[in-house]
Amino acid sequence: MSRPKVAPDVLKLCCAAAYEHDAVRMLVGDTLHPGGAQLTERLGRILNLGPGARVLDVASGRGDGTLVLAARFGCEVVGLDFGQRNLEAAIKEARKLGLADKVAFYCGDAERLPFAHEAFDAVVCECALCTFPDKPAAVAEFARVLKPAGRVGISDLTRSGPLPRELEGVAAWIACVADARPVDEYSALLAGSGLAVGETEAHDGALVDFVNAIRSRLFAAEIMVGLKKLELPGIDLATVKDIVRCALSAAKSGTLGYAIVTAAKEAGPRAGDLNARP
């Protein structure tokens, strides 16, 4: 699918504003991706994270995944997000959980990471690559900031066929649906940046559960709005309902899915190899 006719920077701002919106948080729940903390932990295990590792969490939102990785694996995690309000909420939560010494948060663009070359042992990106306007640029940045032998792990929506009209356009793009790619395309993006693709796992059931949960919250919110006990300024409930309905149908049919894809950067030359060079 081609990108909606919106300037890339405007699209990024729209995504950031949506995921900073309190109403979106209420509808989506505590985590902004299928599988929640359990799938974040699974990604950390696949990447073999542990104490001493320095990890970058790209599009970290309010820091849910960042904090899970730091608490579960004892690693140092840097979260990067385009939304300033998200970062403020993440910092507050890190202090509340006693993890402020394990995490740091920065505002920035995934397509132009504000970090030095080879600064991280691992890069994770959960349910966000599909929203980036320039995916090859973002993945190239993942590879750039990775140390030799470092690993990338993404989890994201996947698609295996055409989507209905309701799942196209800016709103569906922000909802991580419109530009979901086949697993093979995510693998090709990683390989195109010189990374060796590793494990791939399907977690389609997590997507069905996630969308079902949103539908239940949306139903309750609609009742509360009708009773004038809740206001959702800036949220078009009719559009959201259409996207959720169509996304659930696509997920149940297998057109939409969810997957983890990992890749590794080539290890640097050994000392003996360096000495052998002319």
- Domain assignment present for residue 273? The answer is no
pLDDT classification of 278: cutoffs 50, 70, 90: very low
3 state SS of 150: strand
Question: Which pLDDT value is given to residue 223?
Answer: 57
Domain annotation covers residue 46: yes
Residue 2 belongs to some domain of the structure: no
89-144 pLDDT, tens digit per residue, is: 999 999 999 999 999 999 999 999 999 999 999 999 998 998 898 999 999 999 99
Question: Which domain range does residue 72 map to?
Answer: 8-265
Any domain includes 275: no
Q: So what's the pLDDT on residue 264?
A: 97
Q: Which residues of 213-250 are buried (b: 16+ CB within 10 A; e: fewer)?
A: ebbeebeebbeeeeeeeeebeebeeeebebbbebbbeb
In a domain, 191, yes or no: yes
Task: Please report whether residue 104 resides in a domain.
Answer: yes
- The number of domains in the chain is 1
| Whole-prediction pTM | 0.86
Q: Is residue 270 part of a domain?
A: no
Kindly tell me the burial class for residue 7, based on how many C-beta atoms sit within 10 Å of its own C-beta (0-12, 13-18, 19 or more). exposed
The first and second tokens of residue 255, run together, are 């057109």
Give the domain CATH number at 191. 3.40.50.150
Burial 105-133 (b: 16+ CB within 10 A, else e): beeebbbebebeeebbbbbbbbbbbbbbb
CA 122 to chain centre: 15
Residue 3, domain member (yes or no): no
pLDDT over 90, % of the chain: 55
